[in-house]
Amino acid sequence: MRATIIHGPGDIRVEDREYPSVLRGSDAVVRVSAACVCGSDLWPYRGIRETPEPRAIGHEFVGVVESVGSDVASLAPGDFVIAPFTGNCGKCAPCRSGVTVACEELVGWGSKDVHGDFVQGAQGEAVRVPNAEATLVKVPGVSDPEDSLLADLLTLSDVMGTGHHAAVSAGVTAGSTVVVVGDGAVGLCAVLAASRLGAGRIIAMSRHEDRAALAREFGATDVVAERGKEGAARVRELLGGVPADAVLECVGTAESMDQALRCTRPGGRVGFVGVPAGGAELPIGVLFAKNISVGGGMAPVRTYMPELLEDVLAGRIHPGKVFDSVLPLEDAAKAYAAMDQRKSVKVMLKP
């Protein structure tokens, strides 16, 4: 089969790899209908994270179950499924408490499972999924979704669940005043998540007209282009002199965390989901003096999937609009380049 391999900074190739098969009773093999490129995939692409040797890449996919192990009862060949960006067992204490990303048998796509067996990356034709019943979510009544629904479903694999985690971690509730830092796919989904949770005011910080337009479509009531002190002052002005109740930090840099803290009112909360890119700091003195809470981290998207899926299937939310480009898998290198150069917000890859 064909699979995307990163060889080093800027070096993405689609190569031939062995087609996966069921190795254990709890496995399923999923034929990928669509995958995509994540902002965090750009880190090794940009050389911010090292790539010591060529490796399979990609962690977001949806597809059709092809085969299942003998212990898999709730999934069958032909089922359309969504995979969260990590696999989990469903049985350990973290899984039972909903923090699936801290699973004791956590599976990273494109690396090895707890038994030492390889699991494929998501940007390829097929993936063996360990602990398939706990990991995959079946989409009821859907076998071959049309493009718009396919895009919506694919966002549940990561960006929509991650944006939702930012909103939940920041305590967004009906009437909250919200600021979203970051206008990438996660930031835009965070706007949608905040809107879905009933926020009263949502300020998207963006200086890109196309992204700002989508933010407005997703529920942003205001867009602020300024950054730093000026951005925080503008937020305060828009909110009648008081910073926001909840700030959703969807970038992961020192600048974005600083921006988030500047925009939070005393007693407010920052929900952060941007993978810390190094340098992001939490100044404990500021948190103490302003009584600002900080929560978040790697999103347990598997836990959020059922409720978000319900809204997608009912047509209440359309997070798939973050995809502004669809390319064949063979053009994975072009997809990375487009996202790296910010020509695209989010690129879907179809095998």
Query: Interface with a copy of itself by CB under 8 A: which residues?
Result: 93-94, 97-99, 101-102, 169, 241-242, 257, 265-267, 269, 272, 275-276, 280-282, 284-285, 287-298, 300
* DSSP letter string, 145-172: --HHHHHHHHHTTTHHHHHHHHHHHTT-
Nearer to a copy of itself, 88 or 131 (CB): 88
To which residue do tokens 């009912």 refer?
314
Whose CA is closest to 304, among 190, 157, 178, 175? Answer: 157
> Minimum CB separation from a copy of itself for residue 253, in Å?
11
> Minimum CB separation from a copy of itself for residue 275, in Å?
7
CB neighbours of 241 closer than 8 A, spacing ≥ 6? none
Nearer to a copy of itself, 116 or 241 (CB): 241
Alpha helices (runs of H) in 197-344, residue ranges in sequence order: 209-218, 228-238, 254-262, 284-290, 301-313, 332-340
The CA distance from 168 to 162, in Å, is: 10
The CA distance from 111 to 298, in Å, is: 18
> Minimum CB separation from a copy of itself for residue 320, in Å?
26
Nearer to a copy of itself, 102 or 326 (CB): 102
Structural element, H or E, at residue 249: strand 244-249
Nearer to a copy of itself, 114 or 282 (CB): 282
> Minimum CB separation from a copy of itself for residue 348, in Å?
26
Nearer to a copy of itself, 139 or 273 (CB): 273
> Minimum CB separation from a copy of itself for residue 202, in Å?
19
> Minimum CB separation from a copy of itself for residue 245, in Å?
8
Nearer to a copy of itself, 76 or 282 (CB): 282
Nearer to a copy of itself, 8 or 297 (CB): 297
Please give the C-alpha separations between residue 178 and each of 230, 244, 299, in angstroms, as whole numbers. 17, 6, 19
The CA distance from 152 to 138, in Å, is: 14
> Minimum CB separation from a copy of itself for residue 187, in Å?
17
To which residue do tokens 């996966």 refer?
20
User: Is-contact 270 292, C-beta < 8 A?
Assistant: yes
Nearer to a copy of itself, 73 or 288 (CB): 288
> Minimum CB separation from a copy of itself for residue 42, in Å?
18
CA atoms 40, 44, 46, 48: torsion sign: positive
